[in-house]
Amino acid sequence: MRILVTGGAGFVGSHIVDQLATAAHDIVVVDDLDPAAHDGTPTGLSSSAEYRWADIRDSDALVGALDGVDAVCHQAAKVGLGVDFADVGEYVSRNVGGTATLLRALHDRRFVGRIVLASSMVVYGEGRYRCRRHGLVRPEPRRVADLDAGRFEPPCPRCGGPLESEAVPEDHWLDPRNVYATTKLAQEFLVSSYAREHAGATVTALRYHNVYGPRMPKDTPYAGVASIFRSAYERGQAPQVLEDGGQRRDFVHVVDVARANVVALTGPESPGPFNVCSGTPHTILEMAEALRPSDAPSPEVVGGYRLGVIRHVFASPERAASELHFTAAIGFDEGMTEFATAPLRQSAAPLPGAPRPASR
């Protein structure tokens, strides 16, 4: 198969390219190496792929890249919470606008192959909660007054009582609670619209949970929390854990995430959406402790919070196992032990088109 991987030089995308190359697929990558996430061309890129350093928002850049393509793996996106709401334009432009431009280019070529979309667990908003009195309930957004007072757990919206968090299935309600989450859900709707209007095209949305592993970006506002904590340890500092550290997440290794994409691209058609997760939740504090070198200071729970960050979200892996035939293979302890010393993203050369330092 000839497969286009957008964002194929990025964290998850580069691992997908590696696995596709091992399976002898013909791969073309389109990636603009966004300077917010990259300070140069990354090391370790597969020599088997064709790389086009271009922005998917530029329709002209997609002309040759789509020639003969059988499937599209759409990873290109601006991720994380970013700096603050001032990032809204970039998130919408890159994630929604970029996806729209890509789909328009596919439409112009009457593409009816597979599209695999990198979505995210953030589309669920707060995860799944149950009240002992009222059953399954949808908590309201956490209030600033509660967060300032250190009341981090969302209460029952009907009685104000405590809630128990549960694993989120794919048919749970969708409730994006920040800009990034809103753009990921918009991507899902756009690709679904494409499939409905192009008979024969199929779409699989993969809702990644907290991905970690080798080649994570570091020292940017868009890096994942595992990378941020690891960088703190490397500086000899204690990671700063917000709230009380009890936020629960599902940490899934990037090699497993890449494998889920390969299965969705090359296996039996499975429309999804699918949670891509380990199925075993852990707290943020547990993750910080799992990464700590033996001679490093313990993580520091500092309170505080970021608006738009949810309290608990972790996933049910059952639908992915039964329909996509994907189950994560790398456990939390094994994966975190590896990641504690694995190489983060490194650059081999300046960004394409970047000015070179003057010679002396």
Active-site positions?
A: 180
CA 316 from chain centre, in angstroms, equals: 17
Count of alpha carbons within 13 angstroms of residue 63, beta-carbon side: 4
244, 301 Cβ separation under 8 angstroms: yes
Distances (CA, A) of 251 to 25, 232, 275, 308: 29, 19, 12, 19
Q: On the CB side of 335, how many CA atoms lie within 13 Å of its CA?
A: 23
Residue with tokens 């941020």: 228
Query: What backbone phi and psi angles, to 5 degrees, belong to 336?
Result: -70, -35
Q: Burial, 174: exposed, middle or buried (Cβ in 10 Å; 0-12, 13-18, 19+)?
A: middle
Are the CB atoms for 209 and 249 separated by under 8 Å? yes
